[in-house]
Amino acid sequence: MLSLHLQPIFKARGIEKPYTFLVKNGFTPHAAHNLLNAKTRVFRLDHIELLCEILICEPNDLLLWQPISGKQIAANHPLKKLSHTTDSETDLKKALFNLPYNQLKDISSKLTNEINDINP
């Protein structure tokens, strides 16, 4: 079964108030509420595009696939790529907090260089 998987993206982007963020970025209050509370049964293409623009992601990042119990699917089926494991996701803040300062500086420097290479 496919469902929206927005919370990890909001968390990764440091968005603490997703509803406010969505409304400020062009979603109606009703649409924002439905998206955040998994009440949307129809996922509009313009909503997909807007979410991808404002969250800087791909459509596949927005979706989570969980197999329906008793239903078999091939191990190499493309839907398997959409089955994220939310329980084992690393909390980046915690990981960075526990690094020694010199390693943090190195990571920061490498990331800055990578970002500058991507966006000259």
74 neighbors 43 (Cβ within 8 angstroms): no
How confident is the model at residue 86, as a pLDDT?
44
Three-class DSSP category at 4: strand
Condensed to tens digits (0 to 9), the pLDDT of residues 39-88 reads: 777 889 999 999 999 999 999 999 888 888 878 888 888 888 788 654 44
**Token pair recorded at residue 54:** 């404002």
Cβ-defined contacts of 45-52 (< 8 Å, 24+): 50/25, 50/26, 51/6
Residue 1 token pair = 């079964």
Task: Report d(CA 120, CA 113) in Å as an integer.
Answer: 10
Domains in the chain: boundaries: 2-86, 90-120
**pTM > 0.85:** no
